[in-house]
Structure 1
Amino acid sequence: MTLRLAVASVRRRLGAFVGTFLTAFLAVALISGSGSLLYSVLTAGPGADRFAGVDVVVAEKRSVELTTRHDKGDEVKEKTKTERLTGAVPLPADLVAAVAATTGVGEVVADSAFPVALDLEGVPVRAPERAAVVAHGWASAPLTPYVLRDGTAPATNEVAVGAELGLTTGQTVGLTTRTGTRDARVSGVVTGGVPGQAAIFVADRQVGEWSGLTGPTAIAVQVVPGFSPDDVVSALAGLGAGVFTGDEKVHGDLPGAVPDYVGAVSIFGFLLGITGFAAVFVLTGTVSLAVRQRLRELALLRTAGATPRQLRRLLATEITLVTVVATVPALPIGVVVAHVVAGRFRELGAVPAQFTVAVNPVVLIASAVLGLLVTRLATAVAARRAVRISPTQALRETVTDARAGRVPRVVAAVVLTAGAVAVLGIVPLGGPLGMGMGFVSCALLLCAAATLGPILVGGVTAVVSRLVGSTGVLGRVAGAMTRVESRRVVGVAIPLTLMFAINATMLVNGDILGAVTAEQEATRVAPATTRVTASNAPGLPLAVAERVAALPSVTGSALTLGTRVVVDQDGKPEDYPAQGLRSAGERALDLGVTAGNLGDVDGGSVAVSAPLAGQRGWRLGDRPTFWLADGTRVALRVVAVFEHWRGFGDLVLDAGLVAAHDPRGLVGSVHLRGEPDLAGFPVVAASNAVPEAENQQAAWELMVAVSLGFTAIAVVNTFAVATGARRREFAGLRLAGATARQVHRLLDREAVITVAVALVLGCVISGIVVGAFSVAQDGRWRMFADPVRYLGMVAGVGLLGLVAGAVPARLVVRFRALPQLG
């Protein structure tokens, strides 16, 4: 009976349910799209296995593993955390013979993998889809296998290249590695390989010279038929190196050639959090508004004898029907959204080029269930009081605001606000959690504002409405109506507040981070008169950079080599950006040293950023342990602490140490004092922009665009729902003698009040979060980084709110006869 009544109710009141349908559709689509992206990146494998054709791979581990033990009294719990390395430790040269002599081992192939950069007549040669370009000795070509399509195997000073690079036999290419830059003739073109990698093969006798490796990075092993693979693996493990079998063999490859999804997990997890919160927030508000607007109908049903339980079941069944119908088209649209967003992130380089969206039925079903649960819960909460109060009270509240239930609202708002204050005051916003915690605190403050509802919005409305009331009679009427119907203002203003606060917080925090990074970068490079980088490669070999720094007219120099270093964070390995540094003469780089001397950095010492030193409690003279890019463990003495670390790195090591242990090992920038003559060197003047920071900002802006698009549609929808429910009120105004134009002008002023209230709340909430985030970055309080950009967003959101309020009003109140309004 309830189902039939609900179906009939929805069919006869389709217009009233359009808003709820659209909101549910958008919410489920965004949640399913974001969920699909996160699922895809969590389940993404390391990529194709270059060692798929062999049984066992012997190599050093490509990650740092730390195990901590916690004594719980009755038991001891162990936790193991890992952090992926960016390089590979070469194996001892004599290990190949030891592996070959192991019982049960058949064919053995030593593989030396090292990154290279190619250029053709000074123009960089790039692999499709930003694939890693990795060189090997020709002896390892059969592993994948790679097969000659044209030409011959490489001889001395020759290379065989993958067909994906677009080179032809006989061309001469420049090849840059950490050991130097040299010309090589293309002797052949090979086909085969694995997606995401572009291969180059060099003569086996020149592998050590060109790569700087002291031994192979991996040894591929075939087990002799008839021998137990487990026995062979056990015997190989006794040699002291790592042993990989099955799906784990891919971890024997060079880390830089295997897709890394760690950053993508953070990106899509944050995206799911933003869209999920916005969807739930807006969906709850829309459903509550819809129920609130049916108070008159519910009162009449109570008068006719319906019980509160029957009304709750009716409302729940109606919302279930609408949500289920909205979910059917929302799920495939969500998948489409996921593919579009993933494509854009691939273009930005925020996710690996090999990343694809995996459609999982469980994720889609979970998204549909979540959307249904939210709508059902919102309906239950909104209907709890609406179906229990007396019919006369319900009818009274259709024209006056309810005053009950203020104490629980205030208590809940205080708790939520205290949570936001705790997050802003306790969590180090200047660290890697800063952006995420900024969103969390903003979400808590938004929930507090929504919980206070008419109390908070009513207070702001009282001030704004009186300002609008000074514009004339219609302004005074609009002000009085918004003050009386503060709940209706809440239903429209809070989504608009959400739209501004969430997106402004993300966008402005990203702007502030970029501005602080740019300021520190400008301060760092200020002492240098010239800054150069490689013109045809990702960097310069250290020897070439040293020759540039040694030019006669150079009075001071600083060479920097980017790398990654792993630090033990209380049993959890954490990866930090770092720089190798070699300086001479006058100071050419200002890192803002606050303690110690940067000139003391050598192969046994390190300089540390102030935030990292404070976090770890390091002082001058301490000898913390680090893992270099290839996994080499070193204890380095802290000799300096510096402040200008953003866009640079948290650690400064000796350039020679970095070049010896980072597989790329190239100098990224050469900072010079003086007027050097750079003719004959493959260098160009460099800008101070930080490409990684620019990509991160672009990724943030993309997430803001996704969130902004959803909330914009939700705001328009909420205005339409609120306006459409006031047909009877508008008809009464027309009966009282008001013209359609007067009603339009009245509603325009109401929209101005509502939008102004929303923007005031949004600016206050975002200002609190952004201000705390800004202080955590460099001690300066900011409400925005770029005033034009910020004011543009205020104006854009305000204009959207005004249009969203005006258009539905024009559709409902037409310049036609009064009976059409009845």
Structure 2
Amino acid sequence: MLRIAWSTLRTRSLSFAGTFVALMLGAALMAALGQVLASSVSSPDRAPQRYAAAPVVVAPDERLTVRSPYGAVSDAPLAEPRGLAPSLVELLPGAVVDRIFPARLDGGPAAVGRPWSAARTAPQRLSEGRAPARDDEIVVTGGARVGQRVRVVTAAGVQVYRVVGVAASVPAQSTVFFSDERAARLSPRIDALAVWRPVAEVRAALGAAATSGTAASPSTAVASGTAATPNTAATPGTAASPDLAQPGMPAVSSQVLVLTGQDRALLDPTRESDDQARNNTNTIVGIAAGFAGFIAIFVVSSTFAFAVGQRQREFALLRTIGATTGQVSRMVYGEALLIALAASALGALLGPLGAQPIMTWLTSLGMAPTWLTPSTSSIPSYVAFATGVLVAVLGVAVAAWRAARVRPAEALRAAAVEPKAMTTGRWIAGGGLLATALISMTVNAVSDPDGATNNKTFMPIVMLLIAAVGLLAPVFVRPVTALLAAPLGRLRGAGALVVAGWAGASARRTAAVAAPVLVTVALAATLLGAMAMTDATKSAMQTAPVRADYLVLPTGASGLDRQLVERLRTVPGADVTTATSTSLYTLEGEGSQLIERPAEAVNPAALTTALSVPVTAGSLADLRDDTIAVSPTWELSLGQRVTLWRADGSPATLTVIALLAPRSTTDSYITPAHALSTPPSIAYVKLHPGTSTTDVQQALQRATDGHNAHTITKAAWTATTLDRRTSASRLGLLVVLGIMLSYTVIALINTLLMAAPDRAGEHAALRMLGAAKPQVLRYVMAEALLVVAVGVILAAVATGLGLLGLYAALAQLSGPVAVDVPWQPVAGVIGLCGVLAVVTAVLPASRIKGVAMPRT
């Protein structure tokens, strides 16, 4: 049977060319994506930047480590730095004291402030001018020239400084250097000590101080960390820090880290964004690989199912001359394996060549870090080869089963009449997948509407719906084609009747050719529509509680300075309420897991003026420094006392005085006393009745002038929030869609090329009956466009079902949401399918001669 399979592939090379290309492309794509994933995982972190010239850096461990009463140890990164004890400076003579705090030129790029002595740690040398010697002098890395007087915004407010020098900048972060004395007044917290001494001496000094307890402070304890494992407990021979806890609370331990080598990069400004970029790469590659596997199975299964339908008579003849069902099945599997082995091997070899272009593309879109080192591992190629073979075996399973069931008596009948479009197995498979998708959507809508907004939950449902509609497609072909062809019946000539008659008489073939269009359009429309609906829901949930007329927002992430907040509170005719985003930490899972929870620090007296916060129990009027309002996710009851830690790791015990409504936009509310040194992130402005909006708006403009902040109306803020969220979501989704559509385009071209030989006899018959070649070509074009239209309608069914289920879930989160499908990219996808279908169908038909005899 392998010899027959090989002969079949040779004689039907055109039919299986698309399958070969699809498997090769699939293996190549898998290998390329695997290579990108390997590069992301194996690439070393970016080399140290901020402290590249300092051999040793002493810094606080910015992780909260908690030991529960049951002995479990858990940790989490702190949201706010806690700093080093000032006594450490005396232990390390000659160390450079570094302080890092928000400081930005008015209208300039995002930047931080640092003392000038810390410039040598990178180093950031002067390119012109001199070092700052007075309190009103600064050195900048950009945004101003030497001799220029500029306004600088810090957490305290705005002050005018004279630029006396320009220095080189650390990548991804501008810096404003102050004199050491001025920097110490602006930010008393010590963030790091850069030391030019042997690391052994530094550890010995810190260890001795920790043993004697002379360097300990209420908020920071001293211990020497290891450069290799900076986030672990103190190494043997060093002194662990004393516990920091209130009576009855779990023990909290902290330590000072001694960083050398690559570990100095832990303190770089790009550390968090680098990790996020790496995670983005892994997420996009994982989603694209999952969809690529799904589409590859779809392509192979549809191709071989179509091929089996074309070869019905061939299989019947084999059965007639004595071939068993097992032999026929093994022949089909042999064909698939021969194609898969060759295509997967070639794809696995070529795939790594595409890794760098994909990485470059993702980097240009900001979806991958620029410093990734291409991996040289061969494992992705081996995995891609094995995946290609497995995909072929899985994709051909149904086709092989169908081929084996062909009876010898069908040898003649199959040549004239297409077999039954819907078999029992196809009904069961299609109905089962559809029922599974509908049940999953119902469960999500009823029990977990929040989960519906997660792509990991929604995307598998999309796959189930597309597969179900594809299997059930022959049921809809005849009514859909009749509906589409009805307007054409009014035209002169028999062309419209012939086109509609062909499509309706060969429902299975029409469904097979329309399947790639279904996948292509349904994926684009469903995923883009779901993204738009989900983003609109999240935006509505975020903006709906706001009662303020105006909002004052910082330009950047540095927050609103104290001077600006004081000026805002003096605006006549308006109530101003600030909110500060911070974090709280709680122990959960019987004290085994430390969880970081977002929190909003607000003035309780003005909270209800700016926001409409629904509560299910208690009252926000009782919010004080020793109380807290929590969402249902805390699983606490009214009056219960909760042990927690604030953003800098300091402990607190608060009493629950209010339970927020389910799906609250904020996880908890606390007073500003727990926000520590974090500046407000937003200011809500509510006008008094009868106040002139023009006067208030002008007053707000004057107040924010020079403070790197701006005023925006609630309506504009709502629109901006939605646009910003949509832009970020659409970018990642378009990357995934772009990778997937390359697959479905191959499937479309392949299916149309396979269908072309079957139509050659019909086209020749039309020529013999007197049809001119242009008439036949127009007929072929009409057929291709009709099939595309059928695929689009089937895609609309799958899209409608998917978005309807999503709507039912999202409506419970924010009320009715508009079903919004971005039609421009979807129309582009449909147009591409139409062009490809016409070109692929017309080229073979243009070679048909009028003297040819119809095929039998």
TM-score (norm 1): 0.80
CA distance in 2, matches of 1:438, 1:371: 26
Equivalent residues in 2 for 1:357-376, closer than 5 Å: 360-376=377-393
Q: Would you say the 8 A contact 1:137–1:207 is kept in 2? A: yes
Equivalent residues in 2 for 1:141-156, closer than 5 Å: 141-156=119-134
Equivalent residues in 2 for 1:211-610, closer than 5 Å: 211=187, 213=189, 215-217=190-192, 222-223=197-198, 234=235, 236-239=238-241, 240-245=254-259, 249-250=263-264, 253=267, 258-262=272-276, 264=280, 265-290=282-307, 292-296=309-313, 307-308=327-328, 309=330, 312-344=333-365, 346=366, 360-379=377-396, 381-386=398-403, 389-390=406-407, 393=410, 396-397=413-414, 399-402=417-420, 406-407=424-425, 410=428, 413-414=431-432, 417-418=435-436, 421-422=439-440, 425-426=443-444, 428-430=448-450, 434-450=454-470, 453=471, 456-468=472-484, 470=486, 471-472=488-489, 478=499, 481-520=502-541, 523-525=544-546, 527-534=547-554, 538=557, 540-565=559-584, 570=589, 572-573=593-594, 575=596, 577-582=598-603, 588-595=609-616, 596-608=618-630
Give the match for residue 801 of structure 2.
768
SS of residue in 1 equivalent to 2:132: coil
CA distance in 1, matches of 2:198, 2:517: 66
**Alignment deviations for residues 593-627 of structure 1 (CA, whole Å, 9 cap, x no partner):** 2344445444444444xxxx333434444444555
Give the match for residue 61 of structure 2.
61
- Aligned amino acid, residue 30 of structure 2: I
CA distance in 2, matches of 1:246, 1:298: 71
Tell me: CA distance 1:258–1:602, structure 2 relative to 1, closer, same or farther (3 Å): same
Give the drift of 1:441. Answer: 1.6
The reply on whether 1:123 has 2:107 as its aligned counterpart is: yes
Give the match for residue 129 of structure 1.
none
Task: Please tell me the root mean square deviation across aligned C-alpha atoms, in Å.
Answer: 4.4
- Aligned amino acid, residue 798 of structure 2: I
The unaligned stretches of length 5 or more in structure 2 are 208-223, 226-234, 242-253
The reply on whether 1:177 has 2:154 as its aligned counterpart is: yes
CA distance in 2, matches of 1:57, 1:672: 48
Tell me: CA distance 1:478–1:701, structure 2 relative to 1, closer, same or farther (3 Å): same
SS of residue in 2 equivalent to 1:528: coil
Tell me: CA distance 1:342–1:52, structure 2 relative to 1, closer, same or farther (3 Å): closer
CA distance in 2, matches of 1:434, 1:287: 34
Tell me: CA distance 1:651–1:743, structure 2 relative to 1, closer, same or farther (3 Å): farther
CA distance in 2, matches of 1:69, 1:9: 72
CA distance in 1, matches of 2:466, 2:74: 35
Question: Which segment is superposed worse, 508-517 or 422-431?
Answer: 422-431
Give the match for residue 710 of structure 2.
684
Q: Would you say the 8 A contact 1:412–1:448 is kept in 2? A: yes
**Alignment deviations for residues 459-511 of structure 1 (CA, whole Å, 9 cap, x no partner):** 22242234346454665655554455333233233332222333222212221
Question: Which segment is superposed worse, 775-784 or 463-472?
Answer: 775-784
CA distance in 2, matches of 1:236, 1:156: 41
Tell me: CA distance 1:21–1:615, structure 2 relative to 1, closer, same or farther (3 Å): same
**Alignment deviations for residues 119-159 of structure 1 (CA, whole Å, 9 cap, x no partner):** 2xx42135xxxxxx443334444434444444443334256
SS of residue in 1 equivalent to 2:535: helix
Equivalent residues in 2 for 1:90-169, closer than 5 Å: 90-97=83-90, 100=91, 109=95, 111-119=97-105, 122-126=106-110, 133-157=111-135, 161=139, 163=141, 165=142, 167-169=144-146
Q: Would you say the 8 A contact 1:562–1:577 is kept in 2? A: yes
Give the drift of 1:114. Answer: 2.5
CA distance in 1, matches of 2:770, 2:645: 78
Give the match for residue 47 of structure 2.
48
Tell me: CA distance 1:795–1:339, structure 2 relative to 1, closer, same or farther (3 Å): closer
Give the match for residue 30 of structure 2.
31
- Aligned amino acid, residue 580 of structure 1: A
Give the total of aligned pairs.
777
Give the drift of 1:438. Answer: 0.9
- Aligned amino acid, residue 842 of structure 2: R
Tell me: CA distance 1:134–1:269, structure 2 relative to 1, closer, same or farther (3 Å): farther
SS of residue in 1 equivalent to 2:448: coil
* CA radius of gyration, larger in: 2
**Alignment deviations for residues 523-546 of structure 1 (CA, whole Å, 9 cap, x no partner):** 444x433333346x5455342243
SS of residue in 2 equivalent to 1:90: coil
CA distance in 1, matches of 2:776, 2:597: 61
Give the drift of 1:340. Answer: 1.0
Give the match for residue 807 of structure 1.
839
CA distance in 1, matches of 2:816, 2:312: 41
Q: Would you say the 8 A contact 1:177–1:541 is kept in 2? A: no
CA distance in 2, matches of 1:54, 1:466: 77
SS of residue in 2 equivalent to 1:342: helix
Give the drift of 1:248. Answer: 7.0
**Alignment deviations for residues 158-200 of structure 1 (CA, whole Å, 9 cap, x no partner):** 566565x36544344433332333333334344485x444444
CA distance in 2, matches of 1:107, 1:288: 79
Q: Would you say the 8 A contact 1:606–1:652 is kept in 2? A: yes
Given candidates 748, 753, 757, the residue that maps to 1:716 is 748
Tell me: CA distance 1:499–1:528, structure 2 relative to 1, closer, same or farther (3 Å): same
Q: Would you say the 8 A contact 2:308–2:402 is kept in 1? A: no
Q: Would you say the 8 A contact 2:499–2:779 is kept in 1? A: yes
Give the drift of 1:418. Answer: 2.7
SS of residue in 2 equivalent to 1:467: helix
Tell me: CA distance 1:717–1:115, structure 2 relative to 1, closer, same or farther (3 Å): farther
Q: What percent of counterpart residues are identical? A: 21
Give the match for residue 73 of structure 1.
none
SS of residue in 1 equivalent to 2:108: strand
The unaligned stretches of length 5 or more in structure 1 are 71-75, 101-105, 127-132
